[in-house]
Amino acid sequence: MSDDIILKVENVSKSFGGVKAVDNISFTLRRGEVLGIIGPNGSGKTTIINLITGFVEKDSGKVYYKGEDISEWQPHKIADVGLARTFQAMRPYPTLPAYKNIIPPLYSPRARRSARGKLGDRSAVAIDLLEEVGFERDARVPYKLAGALPLGYLKRLELCRCLALMPEMIICDEVFSGLSMSEIVSMVPLMEKLQRDGITLIMVEHRLRELFKIAKKAIVLNFGEKIAEGSPDEIFNDPKVKEAYFGGEDSYVFK
Amino acid sequence: MPELRKERLDRGVKVRSDSIYALSSMKEILYLLGPGLVLILLLLVLPLVVSPYWQRVMAITGVYALLSISFGFLANYVGLVSLGGAFYVGVGGYLSGLLNAAGVPLILSIPIATLLGAVICTLLLLPCLPLRGVYFAIISFIYPLFAGRLIAATGYFGGTDGIPGLDRFPSIWVALYMAIFILLIVLYGLSRMVNYEDVGLVFRGVKDNELAIKASALNLTWYKVQAVFISSAMGTFAGAYLAHLYGWVGMSLFAIDFSILPVAATVVGGSGTLYGPLLGALILVPASESMRAFGTLRIVFYAVLLVFFVVFWTEGILDFLKRKYEQFEHWVRI
């Protein structure tokens, strides 16, 4: 069923000076699927997110979202059709309380078109949404200044900003990175809930064990190229992946 | 001898009114409303008791106060440092002057010049909106310099002579209270918007984090355009007002004072709010005027005053007063 395809990335490339950050990457994603993107540092994971969501201009290639060519669109227009993203380096408004951080996306045209956007008081909606992602209302966490929140809450705040747009798809840039083990453990059910709610997810990750609790397939990048694609088993047994991560079996590590 | 440390604590009423309101008496309500009421009463009563000369000074102070609030709004709440104040004043003044010279009465020429002027200023600044910080400041500063030279060189709009013989306000009372009412309305409207309206939060988001605004499906440039329009409309009104206060428009409306004084007012009054720049303007303009007796030495005293604030009192007057009002201090042993 081809209408099931929500995102189609076709031969996308980007160079920064002489460095090929993303080299001719293609993949497709069906509605409701969870795709992991993994790879060593500097392999182009964040760049591919920036290319899909319009934050960085592509050198070549096309991106189709729900059959529509969004290759040349501005970031806010892409978010407006329901393709949201988080940032790896969290981007809160530090001088505002956490719940007021959620009001700009609730004020966006997309949110205002929806049923929830017509509810009236956006502060109340914002606090409800923050509670959904784990801000304890009773402990008054939503009222704390975003600049003073610990990392775990900032990651949730990032997610919440996406959820306020009522997205059909979220691209998450390393939601687990930098978190303590207990914070990661509490984050996994949240991601699973998003999946159950029917939101298509792309997760760029280094934490493979947690990633594969949620994602059933992944692509592996190295030096901007896609070196493998498939289920977790297929990926771990791929010789190219082993080489990318461990330097190959003939490297000194194994000798 | 025991060592002492100064401890500052919030007053009870400050704590109770911080996020949830739990006030128990008229006295506490008065405490919260006090500063605003004092400002309003002072502005309304002062014109009745000062001499005609100082009434004119007050009117000019109102113009600078408006420009300072306009600067403070863009700098503190949208993250755009605009030195275009002189350009706004010039555009508003010349537009109103040209309209009035063509026969449009003052009561129409001021609002038309305000709105049309703000549209012109916003369109001209549109290409520079992706710039931030000092880069936006430099470009916005070029406009008034350029416009002044252009008029001098081409001789359009009366050239170096300007356009004389414009309608004046019927009396200084009309002029003065008009400035005061506009100032109070703008102050109330803007502080409401940036603190309680959702669009104000979007503006503050633009200052804090442009990428997050884009990721929130909001058109960054459109919100910057709105903010620049609001801010420049305050400036063009100030210009149109000056045109009819003097009954004359000329190149001096593009004088860089209109761009620079708001910065000085922010330094003196304190940054971060709309009230800091306002307070700064209310102090600096009359201070500069009262030093007129010193002749050219005036500039020296003025500079010394500014240096004092930049070096020794960086928090500004407003933050100092706010601290004294909201907190009490006492010495504790350590």
Residue spans of the domains in chain B: they are: 52-267
- Bridge partners for A7 per DSSP: A29, A65
Residue/partner pairs of A58-62 with CB below 8 Å, 24 or more apart: A58/A12, A58/A13, A58/A14, A59/A13, A59/A14, A59/A15, A60/A11, A60/A12, A60/A13, A61/A9, A61/A10, A61/A11, A61/A12, A61/A13, A61/A24, A61/A25, A61/A26, A62/A8, A62/A9, A62/A10, A62/A11, A62/A12
pLDDT tops 70 at residue A242: yes
B22 compared with A156, residue with greater pLDDT: A156
DSSP B271: S
CA-CA distances (angstroms) from residue B18 to A59, B221, B253, B291, B319?
A: 51, 33, 43, 41, 17
**Residue type for position B238:** A
* Chain A residues within 8 A of B219 when measuring between CB atoms: 74, 76
pLDDT band at B30, cuts 50/70/90? confident
**Residue type for position B299:** I
Cβ–Cβ < 8 Å for B106, B112: no
Cβ-in-10-Å burial (0-12, 13-18, 19+) of B175 comes to: buried
Instruction: With residue B113 as reference, give the H or E element that holds it.
Output: helix B106-125
* Chain B residues within 8 A of A92 when measuring between CB atoms: 208-209, 212
Close Cβ partners of A74 (under 8 Å, ≥ 6 residues apart) = A54, B214, B219
* A109 interfaces chain B, CB cutoff of 8 Å: yes
Instruction: Summarize pLDDT for A133-146 with one digit per residue, the tens.
Output: 888 877 778 888 88
pLDDT tops 70 at residue B23: no
B10 compared with A172, residue with greater pLDDT: A172
Q: A108 vs B218: CB contact, 8 Å cut-off?
A: yes
pLDDT tops 60 at residue A2: no
pLDDT above 90: percentage of residues in chain B: 34
* B3 interfaces chain A, CB cutoff of 8 Å: no
Q: Which residue has the tokens 């790879």?
A: A39
Angle B26-49/B52-72 helices, nearest 10 degrees? 130
pLDDT score recorded for residue A3: 63
Q: A107 vs B219: CB contact, 8 Å cut-off?
A: no
Cβ-in-10-Å burial (0-12, 13-18, 19+) of B289 comes to: middle
CA dist B12 and B15 (Å) reads 5
**Which of A6-15, B26-35, B136-145, B218-227 is predicted with the least confidence, judged by mean pLDDT?**
B26-35
Instruction: Name the residue among A79, A85, A103 with its Cβ closest to that of B201.
Output: A103
State how beta strands B4-10 and A68-69 pair.
unpaired
CA-CA distances (angstroms) from residue A163 to A83, B34, B319?
A: 11, 42, 38
pLDDT score recorded for residue B327: 82
Q: A161 vs B215: CB contact, 8 Å cut-off?
A: yes
pLDDT score recorded for residue B20: 62
Residue B75 token pair: 């700098």
> What's the start-to-end Cα distance of chain A, in Å?
49
Residue A152 token pair: 């775990």
Instruction: Summarize pLDDT for B307-319 with one digit per residue, the tens.
Output: 888 888 888 888 8
CA dist B92 and B109 (Å) reads 10
pLDDT band at A255, cuts 50/70/90? very low
pLDDT score recorded for residue B63: 93
pLDDT band at B242, cuts 50/70/90? very high
pLDDT band at B19, cuts 50/70/90? low
Mutation test of the interface with chain A: which of B198, B216, B271, choosing the one with the most A Cβ atoms within 10 A? B216
Distance of CA B3 to the CA centre of its chain: 44
Nearest to B77 by CA among B196, B182, B235: B196
Residue B119 token pair: 């549209």
Q: A122 vs B217: CB contact, 8 Å cut-off?
A: no
pLDDT score recorded for residue A251: 45
Nearest to B90 by CA among B231, B230, B238: B238
pLDDT score recorded for residue B87: 94
CA dist A92 and A178 (Å) reads 16
**Which of A57-71, A78-92, A211-225, A234-248 is predicted with the least confidence, judged by mean pLDDT?**
A234-248
- The pair phi, psi for residue A228, each rounded to 5°, is -160, 160
How does the average pLDDT of chain B come out, rounded?
A: 87
* Chain B residues within 8 A of A95 when measuring between CB atoms: 204, 208
Neighbours of A64 (CB within 10 A): 16
Close Cβ partners of B251 (under 8 Å, ≥ 6 residues apart) = B148, B151, B152, B160, B162
Cβ-in-10-Å burial (0-12, 13-18, 19+) of A13 comes to: middle
Instruction: Name the residue among A91, A105, A122 with its Cβ closest to that of B217.
Output: A105
Instruction: Summarize pLDDT for B67-87 with one digit per residue, the tens.
Output: 999 999 999 899 899 998 999
pLDDT band at B209, cuts 50/70/90? confident
Cβ–Cβ < 8 Å for A86, A46: no
CA dist B64 and B280 (Å) reads 10
pLDDT tops 60 at residue A1: no
Helix ranges, A83-180 (H)? 98-101, 103-107, 109-113, 122-132, 151-163
CA-CA distances (angstroms) from residue B293 to B123, B257, B288, B289, B296?
A: 42, 20, 10, 9, 9
Residue B206 token pair: 């633009």
pLDDT tops 50 at residue A254: no
Instruction: Summarize pLDDT for B110-143 with one digit per residue, the tens.
Output: 999 999 999 999 999 999 888 877 899 999 999 9
All domains of chain A, ordered by start, with CATH? 2-91+167-254 (3.40.50.300)
pLDDT score recorded for residue B226: 94
Close Cβ partners of B146 (under 8 Å, ≥ 6 residues apart) = none
CA dist A158 and A106 (Å) reads 14
Residue B287 token pair: 């201070």
pLDDT band at A233, cuts 50/70/90? confident
- pLDDT (average), residues A20-39: 88
Report B:165-224 residues touching A (Cβ under 8 A).
198-199, 201-202, 204-205, 208-209, 211-220
Burial B200-235 (b: 16+ CB within 10 A, else e): bbbbbbbbbbbebbbbbbbbbeebbbbbbbbbbbbb
pLDDT score recorded for residue B298: 78
